[in-house]
Amino acid sequence: MKYTIQTLYEKMLAEMGPQGWWPAETKIEVAIGAILVQNTNWRNVARSLAVLRKETALEPQRILRLSKDKLIELIRPSGFYKNKSRSLLALLAWLAEEDFDYAKIKRKFGAGLRKELLALYGIGEETADVLLVYVFDEAEFIADRYAQRLMAALGLQRADSYRKLKEEITLPAGFSYQAAQEFHGLIDNFGKHYLKHPADFANSFLADATLEY
DNA sequence: GGCCAGGACACCA
DNA sequence: TGGTGTCATGGC
């Protein structure tokens, strides 16, 4: 079976259903989680968010007022706490410049928003795209490891790095940010179930699928 | 008990 | 540009 990005998304959604990939009540919670989850199991992130919530109610201004050592203590379960505490403060301070008004920030930077995010310490391509999709409501393709593995399994040649895949894949016109959110959740959960080992893919509903883009 | 997860950065050639 | 070492916790 041959798929386009659009029909692949529809197929995965039909087979797997909505994933509810990012468990968060607010956008600031997504932003915090996006930093903490870098190369880390979500289970560990959930621990950090729980204690962080107890201490600060996840109010960014309260987090910004924490001492460095206190912040490190709170996010410790997520690992890489030295880097992540610095990243978190950088992102929150940047968002605070516009009072966490995400629409205003979008208007301010326009198409340059991604580059602005990348300039912040600790925010690379994947985290930048995650923030664009889940915080700034933009339809971006998140070319993470699971996406790379999936697209490679579907026959895509240049899918072996974030940037290569990002250049290869363009979301269809009219693809909504909600669809981009869901697509990412579908891809990552598909990967967890069917791409842990190369042979698993053969048992999936995409076993005979190829991507025609 | 080693391996790895919902990455990014510094350093090197 | 691309490859490697480092950062760290907790589950399996």
| pLDDT exceeds cutoff 80 at A198 | no
| pLDDT exceeds cutoff 90 at A196 | no
Asked whether residue A42's C-beta has any atom of DNA/RNA strand B within 7 A, the reply is: yes
pLDDT tens, residue by residue, A13-23: 999 999 999 99
A161: left (phi over 0), alpha (psi -120 to 50) or beta: beta
Asked whether residue A196's C-beta has any atom of DNA/RNA strand C within 7 A, the reply is: no
Please list, residue by residue across A148-157, b when 16 or more beta carbons sit within 10 angstroms of its beta carbon and e when fewer do: bbbbbbbebe
Identity of residue A24: A
Q: Which fold has domain A27-134?
A: Endonuclease III; domain 1 (1.10.340)
Tokens standing for residue A159: 């899918």
Return chain A residues 26..65 having CB < 7 Å to nucleic acid strand C.
39-41, 43-44, 47
Which nucleotide does the CA of A123 lie closest to, via C1'? B8
CA end-to-end span of chain A: 13
| pLDDT exceeds cutoff 80 at A213 | no
Asked whether residue A80's C-beta has any atom of DNA/RNA strand C within 7 A, the reply is: yes
pLDDT tens, residue by residue, A89-121: 999 999 999 999 999 999 999 999 999 999 999
Look up the pTM and report it. Answer: 0.97
Identity of residue A19: Q
A2 CA → C10 C1’, Å = 41
| pLDDT exceeds cutoff 90 at A138 | yes
What pLDDT, on the 0 to 100 scale, is given for residue A199? 83
Domain boundaries, chain A: 2-19+140-211, 27-134
- A11-17: list long-range contacts, CB under 8 Å, 24+ apart: A11/A205, A11/A206, A11/A209, A12/A183, A12/A186, A12/A187, A12/A190, A12/A206, A13/A182, A13/A186, A15/A205, A16/A186, A16/A189, A16/A190
Tokens 């995965």 correspond to what residue?
A12
Nucleotides of B strand lying within 7 Å of any protein CB atom = 4-10
Asked whether residue A162's C-beta has any atom of DNA/RNA strand C within 7 A, the reply is: no
A43 CA → B4 C1’, Å = 14
Q: Which residue is nearest to nucleotide C2 (CA to C1')?
A: A161
